[in-house]
Amino acid sequence: MAKPIRQINKHVPNPVEEQAEALSDMLKAITDNREAIITSLDILKQLQDMGALTAIQSLLVKRNDVGAIAIGQINQPTMKHAIKNAMNAFKFFGSLEPEQVQSMIQSISGGLERFSETMQNGESKSIWKLSASLFNPEVRTSLTTMVEFLHGMGESIHQDQQPTQ
């Protein structure tokens, strides 16, 4: 004969037992990872000494407020420009052919050598001599390159100004 019953006597785990169990689990994990934990503790100590931990702690506690301020700061026109410029610069470098850049850098450094010599000598060429330099094939090559560069740049500017389809 079993009358219906609803009463359930639940075993409520003894807090002391529960704690002991948790502790032994943790102890095992610690001994298993002894080296890693000791190193981590050392890192933590250093961070604590320099005050970094309390800073991080406050940052985490106030993350929403801090986040709002930070995003507010970033959301300024100058910051937006900076980010955009940085990204454009990044794109620009990405679009350059490394070999061309290399040869250009080499030529620039050659130019610089002569440039610094001139600077040291304090020499200044007469107009006649300068125009005579135009007959020098090296100078001509350099000037042609520069003019072609200006050509390309001008084309680009022209294109940008025309309405796009």
Partner 1 sequence: MEDSLFSIQINGKEYSAKPSQTILQVAQEHNLFIPSICYHPNLGSIQTCDTCFVDVGGELARACTTKAEPGMVVDFQSGNVKDAQYEAMSRILKNHELYCTVCDNNNGNCVVHNTAEYLEIEHQKYQFEAKPYPADNSHPFYRYEPDQCILCGRCVEACQDLQVNETLTIDWGREVPRVIWDNDVPIDQSSCVSCGHCVTVCPCNALMEKSMLGEAGFLTGIPPKILEPMIDLTKEVEPGYKEIFAISEMEAAMRKNRIKRTKTVCTYCGVGCSFEIWTKGRHILKVEPQAEAPVNGISTCVKGKWGWDFVNSEERLTKPLIRKGNEFVEASWDEALNLIATKLKEIKEKDGPDAIGYIASSKCTNEENFLFQKFARAVMGTNNVDNCSRYCQSPATMGLMRTVGIGGDSGTMKDIEQSDLVIIVGANPAESHPVLATRIKRAHKLHGQKLAVVDIRKHELAERADLLLHPKPSTDLILLSAITKYILDQGWEDKEFIATRVNGFEKYVQLLEKFTMDYAVEATGLEKTELIQLAEMIHDAKSVCILWAMGVTQHMGATDTSTAISNLLLITGNYGRPGTGAYPLRGHNNVQGACDFGTMPAWLPGYEPVQDEKVRGRYETAWGAKLPEEPGFNNHQMVEGIHTGKIKAMYLFGEDMAIVDSNSNFVESRFEELEFFVVQDVFFTRTAQYADVVLPAAPSLEKDGTFTNTERRIQRLYQVFEPLGDSKPDWQIFQDLANRLGANWNYQHPSEIMAEAASLAPIFSGVSYERLEGFHSQIWPVNKDGSSTELLYTEKFAFPDGMARLHPVDWTPPFIAGEEFDLHLNNGRLLEHFHEGNMTYKSEGLTHKVPNPWVEISLELARERGIEDGSLVRLTSPYGEVEVRAIVTERVQGNELYLSMNTSEERKAVNRLTSSYHDKYTHTPNYKEAGVKMEVLEVKGEPPLPKVNYRFGNRIPQISVRVEDKWKREDFTPIPKLFESGGNEYGETNQAN
Q: Summarize as ranges the residues that interact with partner 1 (CB under 8 A).
A: 1-11, 64, 67-68, 71-72, 74-75, 80, 83-84, 87, 91
Q: Are 162 and 154 in contact (CB under 8 A)?
A: no
- Tell me the C-alpha distance between 83 and 77, whole Å: 10
CB 101 → partner 1: shortest distance, Å?
22
Residue with Cβ nearer partner 1 (2 or 157):
2
Query: Which CB atom, from 29 or from 83, has the smaller least distance to partner 1?
Result: 83
Distance in Å, CB of 86 to partner 1, minimum: 9
2: left (phi over 0), alpha (psi -120 to 50) or beta: beta
Kindly state the smallest distance separating residue 159's Cβ from partner 1, in Å: 18
Which residue, 62 or 125, is less far from partner 1 as judged by CB? 62
Residue that is written with structure tokens 């330099």 in the block: 133
Q: Which of 130, 134, 151, 153 is CA-nearest to residue 143?
A: 134
Q: Closest approach of Cβ 15 to partner 1, in Å?
A: 17
Position 144, amino acid: T
Decide whether 3 or 34 has the Cβ nearer to partner 1: 3
Record the tokens describing residue 49, joined without a space. 């000494």
Report how far residue 109's alpha carbon sits from residue 84's, in angstroms, rounded to the nearest whole number.
Answer: 31
Cα separation, 161 vs 18, whole angstroms? 76
Specify the residue, 71 or 147, whose C-beta has the smaller distance to partner 1.
71
Tokens found for residue 11: 């075993």
- For the bound state, the minimum distance from the C-beta of residue 33 to partner 1, rounded and expressed in Å, comes to 23
